[in-house]
Amino acid sequence: MDKIAAGLERAFATDGFANPSVDDLRDAADVSLRTLYKYVPSRSEMMQAALEHRHQRYMTMLFDGLTPRGGAAFNDIIDRIAVWMRTEASHGCLFHAAVAAAPDDQALRALLEKNKNDVAAKTAQITGLDGAEVEISIILDGLTQSWPLYGDQATAGAKRLAKILAQDNAL
């Protein structure tokens, strides 16, 4: 299943959610059509599997090896998001793209919420900004959403906002 989910994630990240045909998705997963449908019997479930896989990879990339260090850790997280955007998501957040492609799919919306909430909660824990999860989410999601337009300028802006948030919460 992990192999299938990884292939589906790559296909959707590369070609979006509307473009890949079932044959494209099967090829990306490197399994037979029968095996693909055995594990993920619908396009919605394929999207869910891809996003669940992506969430785990994203959380690992952002937080593995980080230690609680306040503002320095926040800057490290922002830098890691910038690397992710450069290498994995230059078109923006795949979770938002999935919900945009299927706005009535509550399972996809739940995965979007889980991703954003988990990232904000873990960032708050590591940075000592407990209680500022909404503000953290706005900063980090703003970075991922504005990356396609501004690139490294978005990273610098997110760091400035993180510094202001940290200063505000120190009062």
Per run of 10 residues, the mean pLDDT along the chain (length 171 residues) is: 95 91 94 95 94 97 87 93 91 90 95 97 94 97 94 96 89 44
pLDDT at 43: 92
Kindly report the pTM of this predicted structure.
0.91
Alpha-carbon distance of 167 to 115, in angstroms, equals 26
Instruction: Kindly state the DSSP code that residue 105 receives in the 8-state scheme.
Output: -
What is the pLDDT, as a whole number, of residue 171?
44
Q: What one-letter code names the amino acid at 114?
A: K
Q: Which helix (H) or strand (E) holds 121?
A: helix 106-127
pLDDT score recorded for residue 74: 94
Please tell me whether residue 151 adopts helix, strand or coil conformation: coil
Note whether 140 and 124 are within 8 A (CB): no
Contact 145, 75 (CB under 8 A): no
Pair 31, 4: CB distance under 8 Å:
yes
**Distance from C-alpha of 3 to C-alpha of 44, rounded to nearest angstrom:** 18
